[in-house]
Structure 1
Amino acid sequence: MTEAPVLKRAELAAKILASRAAKRPTRFIVAIAGAPAAGKSTLAEALCAEINTLSASELCVVVPMDGFHYDNAILDARGDRARKGAPHTFDAAGFRVLLSRLKQESGDIAIPVFDRSQDLARASAALVTSQHRILLVEGNYVLLDQPVWRDLRQYFDLSLFLDVPFATLEQRLIQRWLDHGADMDAARNRSLSNDIPNALTVTRQSYPADFILQD
C-alpha cells in the first residue's frame, strides 16, 4: 500500500460525521480494512457506539464481511478447509450484491452474521434498517485489489486501514487459537500456515485507504 494520511483514533468519529455531512448520500458507507487480528471488529463496534452517542440523527450500524464465509461443508468439498479465511473462501460476489443494495436502497435489509462459537454464518441474522445512515463495513478484504473484491470500492464513501506491526499480529493470532483450545504448537502452526499468509495478502494487495489508523 502507498502512504495515506494517518488519523488518530480520537479523530475518527468526528471525521466520519463531517464527511457524511459534506457528501449527504442516502447511506454513508465506511470501509474498515486490515489484517486478521488487527482489531477491525473491536474498532467498528466502539466507533459505531461513539457515533450513535454523538449524533442522534445519523444512526450507525456495523456490517461485517465475515457473514460471507463459505460454509464448512463447501470448503470441505473443495479441499479448502485448511485455508478458511483466505479470499477465495468467501462469497465475494454475494458481498458485492449486498453492498450494492445497501448503497442504492433505503429500506430494511437483512445481513448475514458469522457466529464464531458455531463456526458458521447465520443468514438474515441482523438488520440494516431504514434509519441507519452510516454503515461501517469491516473485513480483511474490503479494499483488496483482486477480481470481484476490487468492485467493492465503488460503494465506499470513506476508507480506513488499520496498520498493526506483524509481530503484534502474530502474537494475537496465536493467542486466538490458544483461546479456542489449541496447544501452543498447533496454535503457532495454524497461524503461520494460514493466518499470516492472509495478513500478507491484505497488507500487500489492498488499495490505499483514505486514512491509516496505527495500532
Structure 2
Amino acid sequence: MAHVSYLESTRAKAQLNRDQADQFYTGNLANFAPGLTHTFDADVFVATLRSLRPVGSAGAVPLFDRSQDQTVPAGRTVADSVGILVVEGNYLLLASQPWQQVASLLDATVALRPSLGTLEQRLMKRWRAHGLSPQMAYGKTHGNDLNNAKRVLNESADATLTLHQLH
C-alpha cells in the first residue's frame, strides 16, 4: 500500500500574517480579506511542491490552523516514504501566473463544482460553527468567500476529472 500524505495548497503556503498584510493595505486592517490570491506566496508554494514532486523527497510544509486563524510554519512534515501526495486548494487550477504552474506538477487533478447556492450554505454553516453571528457570517460569505469561489469557478483551467453537483 502506498504511503499517502496531504498538502493543503492554499493554506500550506506562506500565508501573509496581519503585519505583512499591512504592506498591502494603508487603511484599516479590518478591511483585509484573507484568502485572496495575493495573500499567499504562491511562488513559495510552487517551489515547495516542485521540491516534493520526486518520489522519495521529504520536507516540511506550512499548515493553516483555522482555530488560530494563522499559518503554522513547518506545521506538517512530508516523509520520504510518501508515494502519493494529495494537494488540496482553491487556486490550484487558476489560469493565471504563478498558479498555472501547479497543474504541470500534478499527475492528475480533480475539481469539485458545487452550485453557488450550495457554496453559500456551506460557507454560512462554517462561519457560524466558528462562532460568528448570522450577520458576520453573511458578511464574510458575501463579502469575500463567494467572490473567491466565483473567481475559481470562472478562471480555472479544466481538471482531469470534474465532479458537478447533481441537484
When normalised by structure 1's length, the TM-score is 0.70
Q: Which residue of 1 aligns with 2:48?
A: 98
Q: Supply the distance in 2 between the matched residues of 1:105 and 1:212 (Cα, whole angstroms).
A: 26
Q: Which has the higher contact order (CA 8 A, sep 6+)?
A: 1
Q: Supply the distance in 2 between the matched residues of 1:190 and 1:168 (Cα, whole angstroms).
A: 16
Q: Which residue of 2 aligns with 1:27?
A: none
Q: Give structure 2 stretches of 5+ with no counterpart.
A: none
SS at match of 1:77: coil
Q: Which residue of 1 aligns with 2:17?
A: 71
Structure 1 position 139 matched with structure 2 position 89: yes
Q: Give structure 1 stretches of 5+ with no counterpart.
A: 1-55
Structure 1 runs of 4+ aligned residues shifted over 6 Å read: none
Q: Which residue of 1 aligns with 2:3?
A: 59
**Alpha-carbon offset, residue 105 of structure 1:** 6.4
Identity score, percent: 31
Letter in 2 for 1:177: W
Query: Which range is displaced more, 100-109 or 159-168?
Result: 100-109
Which residue of 69, 72, 77 maps to 1:122? 72
Q: Supply the distance in 1 between the matched residues of 2:57 and 2:83 (Cα, whole angstroms).
A: 11
1:1-215 matched pairs, under 5 angstroms: 56=1, 58-65=2-9, 66-68=11-13, 69-79=15-25, 82-104=32-54, 106-215=56-165
Q: CA RMSD in A?
A: 1.5
Q: Which residue of 2 aligns with 1:25?
A: none
Q: Supply the distance in 1 between the matched residues of 2:127 and 2:53 (Cα, whole angstroms).
A: 36
**Alpha-carbon offset, residue 190 of structure 1:** 1.3
Which structure has more helix as a fraction of its residues? 1
When normalised by structure 2's length, the TM-score is 0.89
